[in-house]
């Protein structure tokens, strides 16, 4: 099947011109579009959240995707290369009219796959480096890293009140309500209950609860 993809944004409403260009290309090359896919959305939105992503997931090996230019697929190089890499791996060919670019069973597919892997690795390294630099700057500025101390104190206060909490549990009061009363998350309360139960099972009944 042949799919035609059109994307317009609020800054450039050129749906008709894109459709006209695709129709002319297909007419000149003896092609017929089986399905038109269009959307009005920014190219910065992740592909999987766009109609383009849904369309590519439905496409099969041997299908063809036609667009007026590669910039319709995404706003930046990494996003465009991601689309090309996905299509290449699925055996889907892509033709971009203005760029005169063809992605099919040729050397272009292998080059794109390699380039995408390299670009993705560079991007991951850059993100990691920026994170480390930001943490170093915060530490140099005297800002304490990690969980704020107030949150751990709330847990300690709740654990010190375990006898009262245990009684409320026996009375059938929901864990979510108990957790709200002691200002902790219900999962935290449930984890502590499981830990105390495991401790009691291993050491016999009637022992004191473990310190947290």
Catalytic residue set? 9
Count of other CB atoms within 10 angstroms of residue 59: 19
Using an 8 Å Cβ cutoff, are 70 and 39 in contact? no
Q: Encode the chain in three state secondary structure.
A: CEEEEEEEECCECCHHHHHHHHHHHHHHCCCCCCEEEEEECCCCCCHHHCHHHHHHHHCCCCCEEEECCHHHCCCCHHHHHHHHHHHHHHCCEEEECCCCEEECCCHHHHHHHHHHHHHHHHHHHHHHHHHHHHHHHHHHCCCCCCCCHHHHHHHHHHHHCHHHHHHHHHCCCCHHHHHHHCCCCHHHHHHHHHHHHHHHHHHCCCCCCCCC
Residues 6+ apart with CB under 8 A from 21: 68, 97, 98
Q: CA-CA distance, 3 to 183, in Å (whole number)?
A: 54
């Amino acid at each position: 099947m042949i799919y035609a993809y059109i994307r317009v944004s609020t800054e450039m409403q050129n749906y008709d011109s894109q459709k006209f260009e695709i129709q002319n290309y297909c007419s000149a090359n003896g092609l017929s579009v089986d399905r038109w896919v269009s959307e009005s959305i920014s190219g910065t939105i992740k592909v999987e959240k766009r109609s383009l992503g849904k369309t590519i997931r439905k496409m099969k090996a041997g299908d063809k995707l036609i667009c007026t230019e590669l910039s319709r697929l995404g706003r930046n190089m990494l996003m465009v290369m991601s689309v090309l890499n996905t299509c290449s791996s699925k055996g889907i060919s892509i033709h971009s009219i203005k760029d005169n670019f063809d992605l099919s069973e040729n050397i272009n597919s292998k080059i794109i796959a390699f380039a995408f892997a390299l670009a993705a690795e560079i991007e991951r390294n850059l993100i990691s480096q920026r994170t480390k630099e930001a943490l170093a700057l915060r530490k140099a500025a005297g800002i304490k890293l990690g969980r704020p101390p107030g949150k751990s104190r709330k847990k300690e206060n709740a654990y010190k009140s375990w006898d009262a909490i245990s009684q409320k549990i026996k009375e059938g009061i929901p864990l979510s309500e108990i957790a709200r009363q002691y200002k902790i998350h219900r999962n935290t309360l449930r984890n502590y209950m499981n830990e105390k139960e495991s401790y009691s099972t291993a050491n016999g009944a009637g022992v004191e609860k473990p310190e947290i």
